[in-house]
Amino acid sequence: MSIFSSFIKGNSDFLSLDLSYHYHDPAKEEIVLYNNGKKTIGPAKLVVINETKQQFEYTIEKIPSRIGILIRLAQFRDKNDQPFAGNLAQVQIQFSGNKVVFIPEGNKFKREK
């Protein structure tokens, strides 16, 4: 698993996000978003991009601290309200003016620098 920590401007808490495949199995087509920080965050927009650069979005109203949220890739929708299709190429997490990008690598995710 990759861990991303970002200091939020104007906020003294660190926000730690982590992303993994459910049971580290990409075939399950489920990801788990972890908030390892001390503070609830939200709303957060998640964007998944497939190999053809098609974007699919999903919004989470709040991510409680110290918890993981299971998200099925089929919950992500494109601009025509179609569910995710294709091979996962990138996951973006956008919140409070910040963006974190994860790239799948085998059965794990690596944070893009």
pLDDT tens-digit series, residues 44-80: 999 999 999 999 999 999 999 999 999 999 999 999 9
Cis, peptide link before residue 104, omega less than 30° from 0: no
| Domains contained in the chain, number | 1
CATH number of the structural domain spanning residue 86:
2.60.40
In the predicted structure, residue 14 carries a pLDDT above the cut 50: no
Q: Which domain holds residue 55?
A: 2-111
Model's pTM, two decimal places? 0.82
In the predicted structure, residue 13 carries a pLDDT above the cut 70: no
In the predicted structure, residue 10 carries a pLDDT above the cut 70: no
The reported pLDDT for the residue numbered 1 is 45
The reported pLDDT for the residue numbered 3 is 40
Whether 33 contacts 45, CB under 8 Å: no
Rounded Cα distance between 63 and 61, Å, is 7
Residues 6 or more apart whose CB falls under 8 angstroms from that of 6 comprise 14, 15, 17, 98, 100
